[in-house]
C-alpha cells in the first residue's frame, strides 16, 4: 500500500482576501489546534492574499497570526507561500529584503516555505532558496500550470527541471489553481515533473464543479506523493479536494491517504461555523454554475463585476478571453499578481467590445520582460500598447531605503512588511501606538508579545476603557486612547457618532475599501434615509480588490443616517449606516 500525505490549506483558505476580515488570530489558533491532530504533513497558513487581508482588513500583523498558529500546531510544521521576488505584494524586492523576510518567518516559527512565480522563472527563487537554507526551513518551488502552452510542450519539462534543481529544494509542487487541466493532462504533467527529479512531487488543484478530488486522484496515480487539501465545507468554498473525500476516493486502490478520520471530522465541525453564509452561497453558485477555468478568488471578483453591469451571461466569454490574453502577453500563468490583471484585462475587452486599446500596467511590464523572461511569444498588438503605456517601477526595494522611510525603532519583521505594504504597516504601527501600553515590571519579567496582542484585541472588542493583568510580578495595562474633542463636541475616531449612546444600531465596515450607495452609477441607491429595511436587505456595497461586497442589514428598522458619501474610502470598523430598530 502506497501511503500518500496531504498538506492542509484550511487556514490559508479561511483567512484569504476578502473573507479574512471576519477571521481573527484566535479563530486561526483554535482551528490549528484541531488540524494538528489530523496528521497533515504541514499546515499552510499565509500567502499574499491572507497577508493583505490581515494588514488591510484587520490591521493585524501576519507574523502575529502565524505565531498564534505555531503555538497551537503542536509538532505539525507550519508553512507560508510567497510569490517569487514579490513575496506577498506586487513589486519586486531585493535579495536583502528576501533574506530578512525568510529569517523573520523562521523566527516566527515557520518550518516550510513554498514559492511560485507567474512566469515559472527559477531565477526568481534563488534568493529565497539561499535564505531558506540559511534559516534551515524547508523550501518547495512550484511549477504553475496555466492556459498556455499546451501540456505536450517541451517548456514544461525545462521549467520543471530548473525548479527541481534549485539548491535545497525539498519537493516540487505542481499547481493547477485554475482548473486549466483535465485529469489526463494533470497526470501527464506530474509524470513529466517526476521524470526530471528524485525529490517528491506534490500537487495543488482547484477546479470547478467538484472536479478537484478527481484531479487529485489522477495526480496520485501518476506519482504525486502529497496533495493539498482543505477540511470540511471549506474545501467546497475554495474548490479544493476535501481531505475526507480524497480519503474515501482512494479506498480500494493501491494508494491510501494518511489521516486520522475522527480528528478530521472534529476539525471540520470546528471550522464550519467560521464560514460566513454569503461565502457558502457563492460557493454553491459556483459549484452548480458553468465550469470556467479560473481560480475561485478571481472568478468571484469577476462574477461580482459582471453582475453589477447586468452582464452575468458573459462569464464564459470572459473566461475564453482570459486564455487569449494570457497567451498573447507571453504565455503567463494566472498566479498572483498577474492573474488579477489578466482577468481584469479580459473583462475590459468583453465589456468594451474592443481589444488592447489599453493595458494593465503590470501586464505591460510583463510583456516587455521587466518582470522576468516571458514563456512564449508576445503578440505585436500587445507589444505596441505596452511600449506606449506609462512605465511601471519594477526596480526592487532594498532594506536601506526602507530603513530611511520607516519610523525609528521599527522591528526587522515590520520592516520587511513595510517594503511591501507601507500604508497598511503605517496604520498597524499607529494602532499599536494609539493603545498606549504601560508595563510596570518590578522583577524584569519579559512580556510576551502574543499576550500583548491578545489584550489589545480584548480592549478593541469590548466596551472596557482598559484591561490589566499581572504576570510573573509584572503588571500590564492596555488602555484605549481617548481622541481630542472636535469643534462640534463629538469625539473624533473610527465610526464618528458610534461613540454616542443614541439607541441606534450601528452598521460598520468589515473591511477597507470604497463605499457605494448604488449597484451602478445610474441606478437608484439601495436605501435612503427614512426608509424601512428588513433583515438581510442590502444597504450598500464595499469594493475591495475589484470584488463588490454587499453589506446587509442585520436588524429590521428605519435608516436614520447614511454616514459615508458615495465613492468615499472607508477603513475597517468605520460607521456606515445608523438604523433605528424601533
Give 135-156 pLDDT, tens digit per residue: 999 999 999 998 888 888 999 9
- State whether residue 13 is helix, strand or coil: helix
At residue 499, the pLDDT reads 43
pLDDT tens readout for residues 241-292: 999 889 888 888 899 888 888 999 999 999 988 887 777 776 666 666 666 7
**Burial of 557 by CB count in 10 Å (0-12 exposed, 13-18 middle, 19+ buried)?**
middle
At residue 21, the pLDDT reads 78
Neighbouring CB atoms inside 10 A of 284's CB total 12
Q: State the alpha helices, DSSP H only, in 154-295.
A: 154-164, 183-194, 212-221, 233-237, 243-249, 261-271, 277-288
User: Does the structure show a pLDDT above 80 at 449?
Assistant: no
- Average pLDDT of the chain to the nearest whole number: 85
Q: How far apart are the first and last CA of the chain?
A: 65
User: Does the structure show a pLDDT above 90 at 356?
Assistant: yes
**Burial of 423 by CB count in 10 Å (0-12 exposed, 13-18 middle, 19+ buried)?**
exposed
Mean pLDDT value of segment 152-180: 94
Q: State the alpha helices, DSSP H only, in 440-518.
A: 449-460
User: Does the structure show a pLDDT above 60 at 450?
Assistant: no
- Packed helices 154-164 and 183-194: angle between N→C axes, nearest 10 degrees: 50
pLDDT tens readout for residues 518-571: 888 888 899 999 999 988 888 998 887 666 778 888 899 999 999 999 988 888
The top-scoring range by mean pLDDT among 200-214, 242-256, 339-353, 548-562 is 339-353
User: pLDDT grade, residue 359 (50/70/90)?
Assistant: very high
User: Does the structure show a pLDDT above 80 at 507?
Assistant: yes
531, three cell numbers: 426608509
Closest to 319 (Cα-Cα) out of 147, 535, 533, 167: 147
At residue 50, the pLDDT reads 93
CA pair distance 561, 579, nearest whole angstrom: 7
> Which residues, 6 or more positions from 456, have their beta carbon under 8 angstroms from its beta carbon?
431, 432, 435, 478
Closest to 511 (Cα-Cα) out of 547, 559, 561, 481: 547
- Domains of the chain by start residue, with CATH: 2-283 (3.20.20.70), 295-388 (1.10.472), 496-580 (2.40.50.100)
- pTM of the full predicted structure? 0.76
Mean pLDDT value of segment 420-448: 66
User: pLDDT grade, residue 498 (50/70/90)?
Assistant: very low
Q: If residue 548 lies in a helix (H) or strand (E), which one and from where to where?
A: strand 547-552
DSSP conformation class of 167: T
440 neighbors 472 (Cβ within 8 angstroms): no
User: Does the structure show a pLDDT above 60 at 75?
Assistant: yes
- State whether residue 42 is helix, strand or coil: strand
At residue 484, the pLDDT reads 36
229 neighbors 266 (Cβ within 8 angstroms): no
Amino acid at each position: 500500500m502506497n501511503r500518500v500525505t496531504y498538506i492542509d490549506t484550511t487556514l490559508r483558505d479561511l483567512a484569504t482576501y476578502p473573507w479574512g476580515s471576519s477571521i481573527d488570530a484566535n479563530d486561526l489558533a483554535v482551528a490549528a489546534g484541531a488540524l494538528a491532530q489530523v496528521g497533515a504533513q504541514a499546515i499552510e497558513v499565509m500567502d499574499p492574499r491572507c497577508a493583505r487581508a490581515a494588514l488591510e482588513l484587520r490591521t493585524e500583523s501576519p507574523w502575529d497570526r502565524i505565531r498564534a498558529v505555531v503555538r497551537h500546531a503542536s509538532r505539525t510544521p507550519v508553512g507560508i507561500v510567497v510569490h517569487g521576488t514579490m513575496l506577498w505584494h506586487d513589486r519586486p524586492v531585493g535579495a536583502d529584503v528576501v533574506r530578512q523576510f525568510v529569517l523573520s518567518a523562521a523566527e516566527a516559527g515557520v518550518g516550510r516555505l513554498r514559492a511560485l512565480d507567474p512566469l515559472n522563472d527559477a531565477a526568481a527563487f534563488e534568493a529565497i532558496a539561499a535564505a531558506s537554507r540559511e534559516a534551515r526551513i524547508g523550501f518547495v518551488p512550484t511549477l504553475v500550470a496555466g492556459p498556455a502552452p499546451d501540456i505536450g510542450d517541451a517548456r514544461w519539462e525545462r521549467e520543471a527541471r530548473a525548479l527541481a534543481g534549485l539548491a535545497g529544494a525539498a519537493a516540487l509542487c505542481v499547481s493547477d489553481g485554475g482548473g486549466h487541466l483535465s485529469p489526463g493532462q494533470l497526470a501527464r504533467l506530474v509524470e513529466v515533473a517526476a521524470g526530471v527529479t528524485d525529490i517528491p512531487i506534490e500537487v495543488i488543484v482547484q477546479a470547478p464543479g467538484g472536479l478537484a478530488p478527481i484531479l487529485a486522484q489522477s495526480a496520485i496515480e501518476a506519482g504525486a506523493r502529497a496533495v493539498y487539501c482543505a477540511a470540511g465545507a471549506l474545501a467546497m468554498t475554495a474548490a479544493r479536494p476535501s481531505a475526507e473525500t480524497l480519503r474515501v476516493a482512494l479506498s480500494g486502490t493501491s494508494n491510501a491517504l494518511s489521516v486520522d478520520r475522527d480528528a478530521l471530522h472534529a476539525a471540520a465541525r470546528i471550522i464550519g461555523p467560521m464560514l460566513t453564509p454569503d461565502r457558502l452561497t457563492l460557493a454553491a453558485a459556483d459549484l452548480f454554475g458553468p465550469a470556467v477555468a479560473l481560480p475561485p478568488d478571481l472568478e468571484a471578483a469577476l462574477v461580482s463585476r459582471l453582475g453589477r453591469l447586468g452582464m452575468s451571461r458573459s462569464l464564459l466569454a470572459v473566461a475564453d478571453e482570459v486564455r487569449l490574453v494570457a497567451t498573447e502577453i507571453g504565455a503567463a500563468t494566472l498566479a498572483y499578481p498577474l492573474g488579477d490583471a489578466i482577468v481584469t484585462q479580459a473583462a475590459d475587452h468583453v465589456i468594451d467590445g474592443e481589444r488592447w486599446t489599453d493595458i494593465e500596467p503590470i501586464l505591460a511590464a510583463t510583456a516587455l520582460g521587466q518582470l522576468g523572461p516571458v514563456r512564449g511569444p508576445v503578440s505585436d498588438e500587445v507589444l505596441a500598447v505596452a511600449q506606449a503605456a506609462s512605465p511601471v517601477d519594477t526596480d526592487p526595494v532594498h532594506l536601506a531605503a526602507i530603513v530611511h522611510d520607516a519610523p525609528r525603532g521599527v522591528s526587522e519583521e515590520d520592516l520587511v512588511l513595510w517594503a511591501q505594504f507601507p500604508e497598511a504597516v503605517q496604520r498597524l504601527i499607529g494602532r499599536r501606538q494609539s493603545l498606549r501600553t504601560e508595563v510596570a515590571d518590578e522583577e524584569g519579567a519579559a512580556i510576551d508579545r502574543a499576550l500583548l496582542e491578545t489584550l489589545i484585541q480584548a480592549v478593541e472588542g469590548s466596551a472596557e476603557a482598559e484591561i490589566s493583568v499581572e504576570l510573573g510580578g509584572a503588571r500590564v495595562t492596555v488602555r484605549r486612547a481617548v481622541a481630542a474633542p472636535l469643534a462640534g463636541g463629538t469625539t473624533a475616531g473610527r465610526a464618528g457618532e458610534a461613540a454616542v449612546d443614541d439607541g441606534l444600531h450601528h452598521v460598520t465596515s468589515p473591511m477597507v475599501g470604497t463605499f457605494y450607495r448604488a449597484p451602478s452609477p445610474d441606478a437608484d441607491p439601495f436605501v435612503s434615509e427614512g426608509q424601512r429595511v428588513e433583515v438581510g436587505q442590502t444597504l450598500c456595497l464595499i469594493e475591495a480588490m475589484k470584488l463588490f461586497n454587499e453589506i446587509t442589514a442585520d436588524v429590521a428598522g428605519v435608516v436614520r443616517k447614511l454616514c459615508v458619501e458615495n465613492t468615499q474610502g472607508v477603513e475597517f470598523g468605520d460607521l456606515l449606516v445608523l438604523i433605528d430598530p424601533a
